[in-house]
Amino acid sequence: MSSTKIDRRNFLKVLGLGGAGAALAGCDMPSYATLEEGEEQVFSYLAPEEYVIPGIGVWYASTCLQCPAGCGVHGRVREGRALKLEGNPNTAVNRGKLCQMGQAALQTHYNPDRIAKPRIGAKEVTWAQALAFIKAKSTGTPAWLTGAISGHQGVLMDAHLNASGGGKHYGVEIVNAQAWRSACADTIGDAQPDLHIDKARSMVSFGADVLGTWISPVKFMADYGEFRAAPRGVLTVIEPAMTLSGANADHWVAARPGSEAAVALGVANALATEYSVSTSALPTGVADAIFTMTPERVRELSGVDTRTLSRIAGTLMSNSPSLVIGDGSYENAVAAMALNLMLGNIGATITPGADLVPADLAMRDGSTKALANFAKNAQSGDIQAAFISGANPVFTAPDGLNMKDALAKIELKVAIAMFEDETTQFCDVVLPLASPLEDWGTHAPPLGAARGEIHVQQPLMEKLHPEALGLGDILLGLAQDAGAAGLDDFEDYYGYLRTAISAMIGTGQEAAWQDVLQAGKVQAPATQRSFTANGSLTINVPESKAPGKGELILITTARQGLYDGRHANLPWLQEAPDQISKAVWDSWAEIHPTTAARLGLKDGDYVTITSADGALTTRIFLYKGVHPDAIAVPMGQGHTHYGRYASSVGVNPLNLLGADTDARTGEVSNTTTVHVQATGDNRYLVRLMDIDRQYGRKLTATISADQQRRNQSNKQGGA
Amino acid sequence: MSAQQSLAHKHLTYEQAKDIDENIEWAKINTDVLRSMENPRRGYWVAMFISVALFAVMIYAEVYQYQFGMGPAALNTSHMWDLYISTFVFWIGMSHSGTLLSAILHLVHADWRKPIYRFAEAMTTFSLLTAGIFPVIHLGRVWNFYWVMPYMSDRGLWPNFRSPLIWDAFAISAYLTSSVLFLYIGMIPDLAICRDNAEGWRKKLYTWLSLGWRGDDAQWRNFRFTYLMIACFLIPLAVSVHSIVSMDFSMSIMPGWHVTTFPPYFVAGALYSGCAAIITLFILLRYFFKFEHFMTMPILDKVCKLTFVIAMVWTYLNLVEFASVWYGHDIPSKEVLLAKASGPYSPFFWSMMLFGSILPFALLSPWVRRNMYVLFFVSVFLNVGMWLERWMIVTPTLSMGHHPQAFNTMWPGWVEWAMVGGSFGWFGMLFLVFVKVFPSVSMYEVKEMVYHRKRTVYEDVDEMMDLHSGVPGPSSAPASQTTGGA
Amino acid sequence: MPSLLGNIFKGWAHYSKGVEEGGHHDYEHMFAMVIDLDRCTGCNACSTACYAENNLPVVGEDKFGARQAMHWMRVERYFDEPDMDKIAAAEETDTQSRGASFLPMMCQHCNAAPCEPVCPVGATYHTLDGLNAQVYNRCIGSRYCANNCPFRVRYFNFYDTAESWPAPMDQQLNPDLSVRSKGVMEKCTMCIQRTRAARDTAKREGRALIDGDIQTACQQTCPTSAIVFGDLLDETSAVAKIWKRQQVKLGTYKQNKENPDLRGYRIFEELNVDAKVLYLERVREV
């Protein structure tokens, strides 16, 4: 780790000279371009900075932006090139760990399909021309459509919107925890409580992919490691299709899509009736819902039988403290919180979050409600100018929202993006965005606020494309142009950030600033929230009916990998086998073997999946980790315009979803009823492995938890 | 009693020639064989064209592979070896034909080998030259193939002597050298005959090659001794070569390869495919060069019977291998055996059993042994069976293995097939050139067969000389017309 | 000249010591790993980190389907748990009642590696660190080593890989190790470039290696800390402690554990390859 002081400005000037020097070193075949022929480019470092030793990497702290979790990273830089990312050990969020999406951030940065120059329509222009065009066409209030955003970028965005006449910000994330947030707010008065998986002895998840894509997966996985260490915790997952969390469950339960709430209430019912757990801590409407959710009703709604409910209840009772989480629908999340309240987890494994004292730095969560609202408002002409960055609504919106029509109604659409995608095709102006490894920023990670931790993002190297600008710089420029107050002194985002952070740490000294940069984070003051009970809350468990004849319920699942499709253009992640199906470079539809047999399908058969809003054709993949009434198509593939690695690969199930939104949260549902029809084609789905059994070899073995406890208590060994 | 009659009372010994026509003169032997080396007719050129074409395809495939890597050969992480290695083993096996006929049968004085061993030895040499292509082209970095040779490298690096592939390199080089030597030395008297009857470039060639052979007593004595010594040396070398090649597999830990019986099994298979190839070439040469007098039916008969015996030995060793796997505890090996018998490669496995173990029974039928057309196809299919056997050794094991994640069925790509076909083209080219430049029947040894038959023993050498040097009159009838024990 | 021939004959008695007697190396380190299958979530971060660290080429769908991919570290997924059937009555339901089992598999750096003796040119050998090294420059691509590996963790460059890194992706390549050309075998090296760098640093600082100086890419990124890497010869290292606790010893294929129910095991141990990756059995609550 670099422990010397660095001068950022000079550092930036010096970087980038060594960029092209990494010629491929083949073994001994002669290369066809030699130095003598003048075609091989070698750059020498005549006068590097004093701390740079050519050949030895220097590590810089920054933040990963591959998903909204905002983990801290350390980037290894050699000769002016970022080579490798690791987790930042100093951050409380990910504690030195990084997931595969974070590792692949290098390919986001070095991607050959990055936008290099601004364009208006099909023509490449200069920044001056682009900004002039934007200024000319900016009549009316602008709107910002982004992903989850936090930190000072959010502050500047607000400044721009306010100075432009009060436009709206639409924060869109297809993969989100909105149901959980609403439920937490409504039951314990805190939308973002802190979760302590490492303190739990059992964890039950109703449809929340806690290890895969939920809120802050690396943090949860790090906590999960402790959870499994002695004394070992038990994981139960109830969901319609197996996610990464379900793949690690001691006990996995298939529930009909949309019926997880029924199961959760059923478990609560079992606790109340079999184990006489008190429901006095619950809001009255919720307690009522629990008592009306008899085991028979649970079976009818979800297909889960009484024995399973008892088993889950028993696990919760014998392994205390527990932690129950739920997501997907509001009722499901409320039921999960109800279980926490009943089991006394509040205050043990669920503790209050904190509000950052600079409140405008807090995370503005993304949601699909914002997506629906954006479409609605655009349709009704309320949006005259839209700035889109970090979101791809044309790709992610259900067809029922008519996103393309909505966008057509907006006069000025400005995309600030690294890659051409389905949405930039519809935009009037496309501005090249610097990659996260080239940019400045601050980010308030979802679960870091509890510790007042704000992650700092700094460039690891010079920009690969000189005309790309960082988001902060663009926001600052736009805000300044719109006449936002107090920003005129800053010539760039770096200056703005430095001033802002210096204000936060109380000193403008260089040494203190360097400390912040080296730590990769700044401690902001935060006030702890406290829980408030809610006396009354009505929830209506929706009727989740079994699908009709010839119909199945489609669910779209997000994977830690391609996520919501944003990483489909990264070859490492395309080639990384999906964790459960082990498929690569394609889409598939997961169907239960009995369902497939009933429909006359076999593995690899192509089917057309038709919903009320659209259709797609893909191959099926048979395995038992899917509810028999469901067909699960992972989201992420099916791009039409997203670079060479993503275009024409797989299918996009998001377009098949309807525009129905949840009554309580406004979230778009990720399930819909579909009709499945074989097309007659069959082709092998490319996978890492064709087998799922060990053929009698001892490859992965299992011991029972009882035996493990005996091992540990005998002190004869065991880890 | 006349002088003749008194002679008749002297010892007369006959050895009835069973395998060859009785009345062949030595001159006829010469002319027949030399005629076969005359300018070729259209059929020859057609055969040559086909061989060259196949070889050209192989060159193209190799250039393609050199450029793009081993990927187009359809090799993958599970199947790191495929047709290159199996065809390599096949050609090494084929090379045992000459050794068997030349060396082994020479030691046991089986005279019927004499008309046919020349082309068999040629087949040995050319099989080795063909086989030698494959260890080179199957390498990922072909241009460094010479690193397997122990030479004084400036880095002090030697090859890894623990590796069976290095043993291969030594064994095959030694065997090739010895076979070439054996073939060449055995051919010297014949080359002298060619020299005496040739003109132009041939005369120069044969003069140079025959090393001044005069055919006198001292040279013949040296010759016989040398020939015998090389034969004795060559037999254990041949056995060891194929044993070593088999150790490429048996020294591995892969199920289906790690089998103790592989060395004798491979040697038996080699002798088998060599014999079958001898039958094939026998029929072809006999037909095209009209060698009916030398490559007679009785000899063919004997070759067929020998082939059958070796086929049964091979079958036995095959069944021994299956039995030891079937009754053993090694689960992966059993899986491989079952995969061979019932998996995706099973048609080839059962074809191998059919051609290798069932078809040889056809050789028991005298009708088959006399029918050239049927015998030709039988011998070709016997060799097809043996090629399939080599493929079924290599690929099913690699399609299974210890780790189930690697289970994978693979079919060879066009590059591999091109190389395999091309190797037959290369062999064909070499052999076709051989039959036109060198005598494909050993003239002096056939003469020995005839000579032995005609040999009579006289106590008085002068009388013998009189008898044979004068103009025969009605009273001095040739000894052959007097019966033994008048 | 004497030194050239000396290579062959020197130390034959030393060389011919079997693995049960500690082998013929004078080991300076004995790098080994422990992978806790109960902590492993199968997230695949280790595999992607390995791609990033070791210049692994992406081969695309067709070649992946032809099984010509280059994933040095692969995470396998199994659904069967034969041991559980002994403990709990097999619940023959239609749906999956448990999760899957994940197995990160990479070169086990066997002390008695079957791949080492069979390379014709000696391109793979055992280092004094206890690692199985692959010398790219020496490899002529005979692929015998890959055939002999029971774990199938050796990967061959069937193609040239320049197109895996269209500019500017080639700037990400790690200059600490080469990009392999076609015709060369490669496999997990346990990040030997990091090992060497750490040893150099320790040497420069005049101290011995401490546990934690070297972190392999997979270990460093694993979110659940399921992978532990270290030196077995250093008794204070985490790896050595776990091996000791699990009562697993090197140099034998039959472990005599006082408690045979301990979680630690090696894969294909009966083949006597003396693997150096210890797996801890997955635990299931019944």
Helical axes B262-289 vs B217-250, angle rounded to 10°: 130
Please answer whether residues A66 and A570 qualify as being in contact, where contact means their C-beta atoms are separated by less than 8 angstroms.
no
Q: What string of DSSP letters covers A43-74?
A: ---SS--TT--TTS-EEEEEE--SSTT--EEE
- Distance spanning both ends of chain A, measured CA to CA: 31
Closest residue of chain C to B403, computed from CA coordinates = C151
Which chain A residues touch C96 with a CB distance below 8 Å? 242, 252, 254, 623-625
Which pLDDT score is estimated for A496?
Answer: 94
Q: Total domain count for chain A?
A: 2
Please report the residues numbered 671 through 690 in chain A whose beta carbons come closer than 8 angstroms to any beta carbon of chain C: 684, 686, 688-689
* B108 to B100, B112, B242: CA distances (angstroms): 11, 11, 22
Task: Look at residue B171 and tell me if it is in a domain.
Answer: yes
Inter-chain contact A691–B141, Cβ cutoff 8 Å? no
Which pLDDT score is estimated for A668?
Answer: 87
SS3 state at A85: strand
Q: Which residue, of A353, A369, A387, is where some domain finishes?
A: A353
Closest residue of chain B to C68, computed from CA coordinates = B76
Task: Look at residue B477 and tell me if it is in a domain.
Answer: no
The subunits that touch chain A, with at least 3 C-beta pairs less than 8 Å apart, are B, C
Residue A237 near chain C (CB below 8 Å): yes
Closest residue of chain A to B400, computed from CA coordinates = A695
Task: Look at residue A221 and tell me if it is in a domain.
Answer: yes
Which pLDDT score is estimated for A49?
Answer: 64
Domain encompassing residue A284: 179-353
Please answer whether residues B287 and B47 qualify as being in contact, where contact means their C-beta atoms are separated by less than 8 angstroms.
no
Which pLDDT score is estimated for B100?
Answer: 78
Which pLDDT score is estimated for B457?
Answer: 56
Domain encompassing residue B32: 3-465
Residue B130 burial class via C-beta count within 10 angstroms: exposed 0-12, middle 13-18, buried 19 and up? buried
Please answer whether residues B145 and B438 qualify as being in contact, where contact means their C-beta atoms are separated by less than 8 angstroms.
no
SS3 state at A595: helix
Q: What is the mean pLDDT of residues A303-313?
A: 93
Please list the ranges in chain C whose pLDDT falls under 50. none
Of B237, B261, B279, nearest in space to B393 by CA = B261
Amino acid at C269: E
pLDDT bin (cut points 50, 70, 90) of residue A434 is: very high
Closest CB from C144, C146, C160 relative to B165: C144
Task: Look at residue B263 and tell me if it is in a domain.
Answer: yes
Calculate what percentage of chain A has a pLDDT beyond 70: 92
Inter-chain contact C44–A19, Cβ cutoff 8 Å? no
d(CA A496, CA A502): 10
pLDDT tens-digit map of A389-400: 999 999 999 998
Relative to beta strand A671-682, strand A551-557 is antiparallel
Work out the number of other CB atoms within 10 angstroms of the CB of residue B360: 24
Closest CB from C78, C197, C258 relative to A700: C78
Which pLDDT score is estimated for C92?
Answer: 55
Q: Which two tokens stand for residue B353?
A: 């059993």
Give the least confident one: A459-463, A566-570, A591-595, B294-298: B294-298
Residue C201 near chain A (CB below 8 Å): no
B interface test, pick of C7, C56, C101, C158 with most B CB neighbours within 10 Å? C158
Task: Look at residue A244 and tell me if it is in a domain.
Answer: yes
Residue A619 pLDDT exceeds 80: yes
Task: Look at residue A349 and tell me if it is in a domain.
Answer: yes
d(CA A713, CA A717): 9
* A175 to A69, A184, A661, B255: CA distances (angstroms): 11, 18, 15, 48
Residue B453 pLDDT exceeds 60: no
d(CA A589, CA A623): 10
Closest residue of chain A to C53, computed from CA coordinates = A84
Tally C-beta pairs within 8 A across B and C: 152
Relative to beta strand A671-682, strand A605-610 is antiparallel
Work out the number of other CB atoms within 10 angstroms of the CB of residue B35: 10
B interface test, pick of A27, A684, A689 with most B CB neighbours within 10 Å? A689
> What does the angle CA B283 – CA B289 – CA B290 come to, to the nearest 5 degrees?
80
Inter-chain contact B165–C120, Cβ cutoff 8 Å? yes
d(CA A318, CA A201): 9
Q: What string of DSSP letters covers B142-167?
A: GGGGGGGS----TT-----TTSHHHH
d(CA A592, CA A180): 28
d(CA B170, CA B173): 5
Which pLDDT score is estimated for C8?
Answer: 64
Task: Look at residue B388 and tell me if it is in a domain.
Answer: yes
Of residues A38 and A7, more confidence is placed in: A38
Task: Look at residue B484 and tell me if it is in a domain.
Answer: no
Inter-chain contact A229–C39, Cβ cutoff 8 Å? yes
Task: Look at residue A189 and tell me if it is in a domain.
Answer: yes
Inter-chain contact B335–A695, Cβ cutoff 8 Å? yes
Q: Please, which residues have CB within 8 angstroms of residue A670's CB and are 6 or more apart in sequence?
A: A328, A555, A556, A657
Inter-chain contact B404–A697, Cβ cutoff 8 Å? yes
Please answer whether residues B158 and C7 qualify as being in contact, where contact means their C-beta atoms are separated by less than 8 angstroms.
yes
pLDDT tens-digit map of B351-387: 999 999 999 999 999 999 989 999 999 999 999 999 9
Of residues A235 and B36, more confidence is placed in: A235
Which chain B residues touch C155 with a CB distance below 8 Å? 77
Task: Look at residue B319 and tell me if it is in a domain.
Answer: yes
Q: What is the mean pLDDT of residues A519-539?
A: 89
Q: Which residue, of A353, A385, A404, is where some domain finishes?
A: A353
Amino acid at B429: M
Residue B11 pLDDT exceeds 50: no
Of A66, A394, A390, nearest in space to A213 by CA = A66
A interface test, pick of C36, C39, C43 with most A CB neighbours within 10 Å? C43
Which chain C residues touch B145 with a CB distance below 8 Å? 140
Q: Please, which residues have CB within 8 angstroms of residue B155's CB and are 6 or more apart in sequence?
A: none
Closest CB from B144, B402, B407 relative to A691: B407
Q: What is the mean pLDDT of residues A353-358?
A: 87
SS3 state at B129: helix
* C246 to A717, A719, C20: CA distances (angstroms): 6, 7, 19
CATH number at residue A257: 3.40.228.10
How many Cα atoms are found within 13 Å in the side-chain-facing hemisphere of A561? 32
Residue B438 pLDDT exceeds 80: yes
Q: Please, which residues have CB within 8 angstroms of residue A179's CB and are 6 or more apart in sequence?
A: A326, A327, A328, A329, A330, A332, A333, A662, A665, A667
Distance, C-alpha B240 to centroid of its chain: 16
d(CA A173, CA A151): 17
Phi then psi dihedrals of residue A119, to 5 deg: -140, 150
pTM comes to 0.90
The answer to whether the peptide bond before residue A240 is cis (omega within 30 degrees of 0) is: no
Which chain B residues touch C8 with a CB distance below 8 Å? 158, 161
Sheet harboring A123-124: ordered strands across? A123-124, A119-120, A429-432, A412-417, A385-389, A142-146, A169-171
DSSP state of B110: -
Inter-chain contact C43–A99, Cβ cutoff 8 Å? yes
Which pLDDT score is estimated for A670?
Answer: 84
Q: What is the mean pLDDT of residues A395-418?
A: 94
d(CA B20, CA B297): 9
What is the distance in angstroms between the Cα of B77 and the nearest Cα belonging to chain C? 6
Which chain B residues touch A32 with a CB distance below 8 Å? none
Domain C25-83+98-280 sits in CATH 3.30.70.250: no
Q: Which residue, of A297, A319, A353, is where some domain finishes?
A: A353
The subunits that touch chain C, with at least 3 C-beta pairs less than 8 Å apart, are A, B
| Mean predicted lDDT score pLDDT of chain A | 88
Helical axes A330-343 vs A178-188, angle rounded to 10°: 50
Q: Please, which residues have CB within 8 angstroms of residue C69's CB and are 6 or more apart in sequence?
A: A575, A688, B77, C59, C63, C155
Residue A717 pLDDT exceeds 50: no
d(CA A454, CA A26): 43
Inter-chain contact B77–C141, Cβ cutoff 8 Å? no
Of A199, A174, A298, nearest in space to A557 by CA = A174
Of residues A9 and A266, more confidence is placed in: A266
CATH number at residue B435: 1.20.1630.10
pLDDT tens-digit map of B391-426: 999 999 999 999 999 999 999 999 999 999 999 999
Give the least confident one: A54-63, A150-159, C52-61, C121-130: A54-63
Which pLDDT score is estimated for A20?
Answer: 28
Which pLDDT score is estimated for A526?
Answer: 87
Residue B197 burial class via C-beta count within 10 angstroms: exposed 0-12, middle 13-18, buried 19 and up? middle
pLDDT bin (cut points 50, 70, 90) of residue A13 is: very low
Q: What is the mean pLDDT of residues A613-637?
A: 93
Please answer whether residues A106 and C52 qualify as being in contact, where contact means their C-beta atoms are separated by less than 8 angstroms.
yes
Please answer whether residues B172 and C129 qualify as being in contact, where contact means their C-beta atoms are separated by less than 8 angstroms.
no
Which pLDDT score is estimated for A43?
Answer: 55
Amino acid at A636: G
Q: Which two tokens stand for residue A577?
A: 């086998």
Task: Look at residue B474 and tell me if it is in a domain.
Answer: no
Give the least confident one: A300-314, A677-691, B106-120: B106-120
CATH number at residue A575: 2.40.40.20
Task: Look at residue B92 and tell me if it is in a domain.
Answer: yes
pLDDT tens-digit map of B319-342: 999 999 999 889 999 999 999 999
d(CA A318, CA A22): 58
Inter-chain contact C61–A254, Cβ cutoff 8 Å? no
Residue A29 pLDDT exceeds 60: no
* C222 to A82, A242, A365, A683, C46: CA distances (angstroms): 21, 21, 27, 34, 6
The subunits that touch chain B, with at least 3 C-beta pairs less than 8 Å apart, are A, C
Q: Give the ipTM of the model, two decimals please.
A: 0.93
| 3-state helix vs strand vs coil in chain A, percent to 5 | 30, 20, 45
Of residues B480 and C206, more confidence is placed in: C206
d(CA A491, CA A497): 11
Inter-chain contact A26–C180, Cβ cutoff 8 Å? yes
Task: Look at residue A611 and tell me if it is in a domain.
Answer: yes
Inter-chain contact B402–A691, Cβ cutoff 8 Å? no
Inter-chain contact A27–C178, Cβ cutoff 8 Å? yes
Closest CB from A28, A688, A691 relative to B404: A691
Residue B478 pLDDT exceeds 70: no
d(CA A369, CA A447): 22
